[in-house]
C-alpha cells in the first residue's frame, strides 16, 4: 500500500489551519509537500509486510557444517528510528542488537541492518519492532533462534507529558533457544557487554 502523498499534503494543510497558522505564508507554503515527502521516506516500511521484507533481504549463503547450530552471529548497535503509533512522536537514539544461530545458512551482515531499518520505518511500538525484526530474520534465514534487544528514547515521553529526557526504554525479543536456554542467553549478554 503506497502512501497517498496528495492526501497527506491536504491534511497537513488542514492541520496548519487548525493550529491557527496561515499555510500560505512564506515559511509554510511548501510545508505540506515537504511533510508528505518526509512521511513517504520515513514510513517506507508501511508499504511492505514482514513476509515481503523477508523476501527482499533473503539472500543467504551456505554455512560451514562444523559450526552449524553452535555459533552466535551478533550485529550490535544498529542505529534505527521510528514513529510511535500512539502520538506520531519520534522514537530516537535507538539501537538494535540482533543475534541469531545459523542453521545451515547465513545472511549478509548488511541485510540484518537493512531488515531493522525497514521494519522500523512504520508507525510502530518499540516492542513490535523487536518482534517484527525477529519474524523477518527467522523467515529470511530459516532459523528459529533469534534475539533482538532494542534501546531507545521516545519523544512522547521526553518532550511532552512527563518530560523525562534522560529516560530510555529497553525491550527484548527472544525466540527459539534464546528463549529457553539460560546459558545461551547469558553468552549473548556477555557478547553485548564487549
Is there a catalytic annotation at residue 156? Answer: yes
Among residues 40, 84, 144, 181, the one annotated as catalytic is 84
Among residues 9, 124, 126, 143, the one annotated as catalytic is 126
Contacts of 184 (CB under 8 A, 6+ apart): 72, 177, 178
With 70 as the cut, is the pLDDT of residue 66 above it? no
Q: What is the pLDDT of residues 80-126, one digit of tens each?
A: 999 999 999 999 999 999 999 999 899 999 999 999 999 999 999 99
Eight-class DSSP state of 23:
T
Per-position DSSP letters for 129-177, written without gaps between them: HHHHHHHHHHHHHT-S-EEEEEEEEEHHHHTSTT--TT--EEEEEEETH
The set of cell numbers assigned to 129 is 519492532
Phi and psi at 96, nearest 5°, equal -115, 130
Q: What is the pLDDT of residues 123-170, one digit of tens each?
A: 999 999 999 999 999 999 999 999 999 999 999 899 999 999 999 999
The count of C-alpha atoms lying within 13 angstroms of the C-alpha of 188, restricted to the half-sphere facing its C-beta, is: 27
With 80 as the cut, is the pLDDT of residue 68 above it? no
What CA–CA distances, in Å, run from 46 to 50, 91, 98, 178? 10, 16, 21, 28
Contacts of 110 (CB under 8 A, 6+ apart): none
Among residues 55, 64, 86, 127, the one annotated as catalytic is 86
Is there a catalytic annotation at residue 51? Answer: no
Measured in whole angstroms, the distance separating CA 77 from the mean position of its chain's CA atoms is: 12
**Would you state the pLDDT for residue 89?**
93
**Would you state the pLDDT for residue 67?**
62
Amino acid at each position: 500500500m503506497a502512501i497517498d502523498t496528495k492526501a497527506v499534503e491536504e491534511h497537513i494543510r488542514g492541520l496548519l489551519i487548525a493550529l491557527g497558522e496561515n499555510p500560505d505564508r512564506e515559511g509554510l507554503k511548501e510545508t505540506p509537500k515537504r511533510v508528505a515527502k518526509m512521511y513517504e521516506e520515513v514510513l517506507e516500511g508501511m508499504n511492505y509486510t514482514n513476509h515481503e521484507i523477508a523476501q527482499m533481504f533473503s539472500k543467504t549463503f551456505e554455512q560451514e557444517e562444523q559450526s552449524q547450530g553452535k555459533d552466535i552471529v551478533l550485529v550490535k548497535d544498529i542505529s534505527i528510528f521510528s514513529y510511535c503509533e500512539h502520538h506520531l512522536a519520534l522514537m530516537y537514539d535507538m539501537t538494535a542488537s540482533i543475534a541469531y544461530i545459523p542453521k545451515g545458512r547465513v545472511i549478509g551482515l548488511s541485510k540484518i541492518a537493512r531488515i531493522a531499518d525497514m521494519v522500523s520505518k512504520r508507525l510502530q511500538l518499540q516492542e513490535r519492532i523487536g518482534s517484527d525484526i525477529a519474524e523477518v530474520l527467522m523467515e529470511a534465514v530459516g532459523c528459529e533462534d533469534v534475539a533482538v534487544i532494542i534501546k531507545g528514547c521516545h519523544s512522547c515521553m521526553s518532550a511532552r507529558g512527563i518530560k523525562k529526557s534522560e529516560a530510555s526504554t529497553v525491550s527484548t525479543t527472544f525466540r527459539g533457544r534464546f528463549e529457553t536456554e539460560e546459558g545461551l542467553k547469558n553468552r549473548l549478554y556477555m557478547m553485548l557487554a564487549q
